[in-house]
A and B are shown apart, each in its own frame.
Chain A
Amino acid sequence: MAEKYIARSSEIAARLLGGEMMVMSARDSTFFTLNEVASAIWQAADGRTPLSQIVAGRICQEFDVDRERAQRGADRFVDELSQHGILLVSDQPLMNSSPPREGR
């Protein structure tokens, strides 16, 4: 199965609010809040680290969840956000993406 590389779109606004990430698409004004796990994936979406590595290296470690379950959840999350253009997904590293700063 091909690797997934994920990067944050440049057309979003985002801010951490009390542990939850608020994300809004400038394209269609869709507003999301991400829980702690989703926020961790979001913050790790640098376009260079494979999703499987984010799941294994960060999500499973930080949230004490088994890898298969975490991967399924991460895939669903990535699919949903990519449909709104909030996350960019590729089977190749997205080299031009630089991690934005969402503060707090």
Chain B
Amino acid sequence: MSLLAEMNQKALNLGLPISVHLDVTYRCNERCVHCYLDHDDHGEMTTEEIADVLAQLAEAGVFFLTLSGGEVLMRRDFFEIVERARQLLFNVKVKTNGVMIHEKEAARLRQLGVEQVQISVYSDRPEVHDAITKLPGSLKRTLRAIRFLKSQGLKVTIANVLMAGNFSDQPGVIALARELGVAYTLDPTITPKMDGDTSILALRIPGSELKQVFHSEELVGNVEEFCAPPPAPGEDVMEGFPCSAGHTACYISPYGDVFPCVQFPLPSGNVRRQKFLDIWRHSPQLKEVRSIRAKDLTVCSACAHVGTCTRCPGLAYMEGNMRGPSTADCEKSFQRTGIPSANMLRRTRAGSTGPLIQIQSLASSLQNHPFSGEDSLLTA
């Protein structure tokens, strides 16, 4: 077990939040076709409110802080927020599209001791990338930002969200990352919009392309091992937790709402009305999330993939039951191993062959692989 995994386990045992994802704004200068956010400002937390939240998070034991959005630099006080976070000694990761990062901003991020910057790149071709962001010239500006950040010695990761429209450009983005000397992470996650609109799920890559991803040695390393049939689950698996959401990690929106994860929209409290630690310790919603073991899952507990599936409780929740299956993850397990999930078999028996809904992050099972960029802190 790595030192980091040991610390995660320790945080889990102590019931401490070691990792928080804080969106500082939902406003954005891009209008990405797959984005799930409403970009209007409905009353973001002020600088002082965020500073207070940061102090509470430090007191609660949070170490890893992801600052994201929207586009973080749409906030004029963004560097002040980073400065406050660094004064509190968080390990800060920033997610941005980079469009507003020039030499001065890159130097400031470096000076403040940001640990890494993740930037979304959808294609190595401007006509494809800019069509996704709906911002002409955005690829050029994003790549310029990456060069500025690299020249400052910052650790940069390109996040490549895969959709049907840019799937074929994925090797080009990998080559681009190599040329720029930055890390690459692949994310085939498309989630419904916050208002429940599922139309963007039509952008997802089809199963055949997902299979191609899972069987790419460049992406997954040892394909035989990665795509091996799942071993029979032991008692430890059945007593295990699905992921870090609500256990050692949570998400806070620009309006102060607390959720188990950015991908798990179960309202669990608001830091404008309650202290963060009160929410973390006493929220009935977080307690319910924490109570779920693999053995409690309605369909998945009987599935061959239960011990190896990347089942996302947030996606399951969005499908109607946080204890139920996440069909996108059923698809992933199937495309990876060729073995249908219990949920797929059930649906087939019921005569339903409806399309699979979405594809989520490959995070926890793919640590140490090129597309292991998400924030999962529980080892699978």
**Chain A interface (Cβ within 8 Å of chain B)?**
10-18, 20, 22, 24, 26-27, 29, 31-33, 100-104
Which positions 34-71 of chain B face chain A at CB distance < 8 Å?
58-63
> How far does the alpha carbon of A11 sit from the alpha carbon of B114 in the complex, in Å?
8
Q: Could you say which of B7, B88, B116 contacts A103, with CB atoms under 8 Å apart? A: B88
**A17→B18 contact, CB < 8 A:** yes
**Given A16-B61, A31-B3: A24 touches B11 (CB 8 Å cut-off):** no
**Given A17-B10, A17-B63, A22-B7: A100 touches B89 (CB 8 Å cut-off):** yes
**B113→A10 contact, CB < 8 A:** yes
**B14→A100 contact, CB < 8 A:** no
Which residues of A have CB within 8 Å of B91? 13, 24, 26
**B114→A15 contact, CB < 8 A:** no
A36: shortest Cβ distance to chain B, in Å? Answer: 14
> How far does the alpha carbon of A88 sit from the alpha carbon of B34 in the complex, in Å?
46
**Given A22-B63, A33-B3: A12 touches B114 (CB 8 Å cut-off):** no
Which residues of B have CB within 8 Å of A14? 89
12 contacts across the A-B interface (CB closer than 8 A): A10-B86, A11-B113, A13-B113, A17-B11, A17-B14, A17-B61, A17-B63, A18-B10, A22-B63, A24-B115, A29-B155, A101-B88
**B59→A13 contact, CB < 8 A:** no
B191: shortest Cβ distance to chain A, in Å? Answer: 28
Q: Mark B123-142, 1 if CB is under 8 A from A, else 0.
A: 00000000000000000000
Q: Could you say which of B6, B14, B62 contacts A15, with CB atoms under 8 Å apart? A: B62
Which residues of A have CB within 8 Å of B7? 17, 20, 22, 33
A17: shortest Cβ distance to chain B, in Å? Answer: 6
B87 within 8 A of A: yes
B276: shortest Cβ distance to chain A, in Å? Answer: 12
**A26→B115 contact, CB < 8 A:** yes
Which residues of B have CB within 8 Å of A29? 115-116, 155
Which residues of A have CB within 8 Å of B18? 17
B28 within 8 A of A: no
Which of B7, B63, B89 counts the most chain A CB atoms within 10 A?
B89
> How far does the alpha carbon of A18 sit from the alpha carbon of B116 in the complex, in Å?
26
B315 within 8 A of A: no
**Chain B interface (Cβ within 8 Å of chain A)?**
3-4, 6-7, 10-11, 14, 16, 18, 58-63, 86-92, 113-116, 153, 155
> How far does the alpha carbon of A88 sit from the alpha carbon of B136 in the complex, in Å?
46
Which residues of A have CB within 8 Å of B3? 31-33
**A104→B115 contact, CB < 8 A:** no
Which of B6, B7, B155 counts the most chain A CB atoms within 10 A?
B7
A40: shortest Cβ distance to chain B, in Å? Answer: 17
Which residues of B have CB within 8 Å of A11? 113
Q: Could you say which of B10, B59, B90, B155 contacts A104, with CB atoms under 8 Å apart? A: B59
Which of B59, B90, B91 counts the most chain A CB atoms within 10 A?
B91
A24: shortest Cβ distance to chain B, in Å? Answer: 5
**Given A18-B10, A29-B115: A13 touches B61 (CB 8 Å cut-off):** no
Please name the residue on chain B nearest to A28 by beta carbon.
B155
B264: shortest Cβ distance to chain A, in Å? Answer: 24
Instruction: For the complex of A and B, list the 9 residue pairs with the smallest distance between their C-beta atoms, beginning with the closest.
Output: A13-B91, A103-B58, A15-B63, A26-B113, A11-B113, A26-B115, A14-B89, A102-B89, A100-B89
B13: shortest Cβ distance to chain A, in Å? Answer: 8
Which of A26, A27, A29, A32 counts the most chain B CB atoms within 10 A?
A26
Q: Could you say which of A17, A22, A100 contacts B87, with CB atoms under 8 Å apart? A: A100
B62: shortest Cβ distance to chain A, in Å? Answer: 7
> How far does the alpha carbon of A20 sit from the alpha carbon of B3 in the complex, in Å?
12
> How far does the alpha carbon of A22 sit from the alpha carbon of B116 in the complex, in Å?
18
Which residues of A have CB within 8 Å of B16? 17-18
B83: shortest Cβ distance to chain A, in Å? Answer: 11
Which residues of B have CB within 8 Å of A10? 86, 113
> How far does the alpha carbon of A17 sit from the alpha carbon of B60 in the complex, in Å?
10
> How far does the alpha carbon of A22 sit from the alpha carbon of B58 in the complex, in Å?
13
> How far does the alpha carbon of A21 sit from the alpha carbon of B214 in the complex, in Å?
38
Which residues of A have CB within 8 Å of B90? 13, 15
> How far does the alpha carbon of A11 sit from the alpha carbon of B113 in the complex, in Å?
5
Please name the residue on chain A nearest to B14 by beta carbon.
A18
B179: shortest Cβ distance to chain A, in Å? Answer: 22
**B89→A15 contact, CB < 8 A:** yes
> How far does the alpha carbon of A22 sit from the alpha carbon of B16 in the complex, in Å?
14
**B62→A26 contact, CB < 8 A:** no
